[in-house]
Chain A
Amino acid sequence: MTGNIAILGYGLSAIGPGIGVGLIFAAYINGVARQPEARGMLQPIAFLGMAITEALAIFGIALAFVFKA
């Protein structure tokens, strides 16, 4: 079996952010379902949280390409 171990690394780095983003949007949906009028306030927080959490996975894919060579 041949392949690139960097891709394995990317897969590992995607686990945490995957769970994190899921948790963020679960909380966001919960909040909006409970208080629909709070949507405007929650939305930027949710997306900012998503951007920060997802950063790790995005660094993962970048580094996977960097170390592929």
Chain B
Amino acid sequence: MSLVSAAPSEYTAPGVEEFWQPLFGTDGPWAITRPMFLIVISVGLIIWYLLATTRKKALVPSRGQMATEAVYGLVRNGIAKDLIGSKEFMRFVPLLFSLFMIILVNNFFGVMPPFSYPTMSRIGFPIALSLIVWVVFHVVGMKKHGFFGYWKSLVPSGLPKGMILPIFFLELITDLFTRPVTLALRLFGNMFAGHILIVLFITGGWYMLTNGGILVIAGGVTWVFALVMTLFELLVEFLQAYVFTLLAALYIGGAIADEH
């Protein structure tokens, strides 16, 4: 674990244990860990920011309000309205906006110096968010089409008789299993891999710098690459928040669509 302080003779690549950072309590399943702390901070920050920038309700917005409105407009018009349809999308805007904000801010924590830890690289959080989306899109679909009607709507009409059963099972697996699992794992995988990559570049560069010799130059280059990777990571972090929200809207829109 203690890569930096370890004897410089041998380099160990960062691994899974990099992400296990209990703050206090036990080391077991009920330990309070660092990402928990981070997500509480992020939610506090988001709530404070959103309330502070929308308090005035100015028609000519301040800079903060403009930023909030830009993000809100992206989620409201760019995602919800386009993918759910202009009739019913307003019901889901709070959900999608909350999802986008919490994922975006927690992802940005991954490269922000005082935090430097992407909360979503702990699978528990993406699973929680995906579970909410999963429950929501099944429930609204069943409300709209009825319990049996919803399952029936999974199969597109006009299929030959022999195809109905295989397609039904395929759609069932997709809806019940693939969609939520991939939704959670995509977010987790991107954050986990991106963070481990940055840690690898930085610790590897540090190892080379401290071990001297010709490796010092390589170490410097590695640190430059770490910076580049950090910038790339910023893009990925935004993109993942966007894709997660987009897919959530897509699944909800598909569940309440008249034609499945």
Contact = CB atoms under 8 A, between A and B. Distances in A.
Q: Is chain B in direct contact with chain A in the complex (CB below 8 A)?
A: yes
Interface in B1-56: 16
B178 interface: yes
Interface of B: 16, 82-83, 174, 178-179, 181-183, 185-186, 189, 193, 243, 246-247, 250, 253-254
B82 A61 contact: no
Interface residues of A, number: 14
A42 B186 CA distance: 22
> Dominant SS at the A interface?
helix
Contacts of A52: 174, 178
A30 interface: no
A44 B183 CA distance: 15
Contact of B185 (A40, A44, A61): A61
A48 interface: yes
A54 B247 CA distance: 13
Given A40-B82, A52-B174, A52-B178, A47 B185 contact: no
A17 B186 CA distance: 13
A51 B179 contact: yes
B185 A51 contact: no
Contacts of B189: 58, 61
B127 to A, nearest CB: 12
A33 interface: no
Contacts of A43: 82-83
